[in-house]
Amino acid sequence: MKFFIDTANLDEIREAQELGVLDGVTTNPSLMAKEGITGRDNILKHYVAICDIVDGDVSAEVISTDYDEIVKEGEQLAELHGQIVVKVPMIEDGVRALKHFSDNGIRTNCTLVFSAGQALLAAKAGATYVSPFIGRLDDISTDGLNLIAEIRHIYDNYGYETQILAASIRHTMHIINCAKIGADVMTGSLSSIKGLLKHPLTDSGLEKFLADYNKGN
Report, in Å, the least distance between residue 165 CB and ligand G3P. 8
Q: What residues make contact with ligand G3P under the rule CB under 6 A?
A: 6, 26, 28, 131, 133, 135-136, 167-168, 187
- Mark out the alpha helices in 5-133 (DSSP H runs): 10-19, 29-34, 40-53, 67-80, 92-103, 116-124
Closest CA to 6 of 44, 42, 40, 34: 34
Compute the least distance from the CB of residue 103 to ligand G3P, in Å. Answer: 25
* Least distance in angstroms from the C-beta of 70 to ligand G3P: 18
**What DSSP character marks residue 172?**
H
Q: What is the Cα–Cα distance from 192 to 177, expressed in whole angstroms? A: 13
Longest alpha-carbon distance in the chain? 72
Residue (108 or 131) nearer to ligand G3P, CB: 131
Q: Which of 87, 99, 180, 208 is catalytic?
A: 87
45 is catalytic: no
Nearest alpha carbon to residue 129 among 90, 91, 171, 170: 90
Integer Rg of the chain from CA: 19
Which lies closer to ligand G3P via its Cβ, residue 191 or residue 204?
191
Which CB, 93 or 138, lies closer to ligand G3P?
138
As measured in angstroms, the least distance from the Cβ of 53 to ligand G3P is 18
Q: Which is nearer to ligand G3P, 118 or 187 (CB)?
A: 187
Active-site positions read: 87
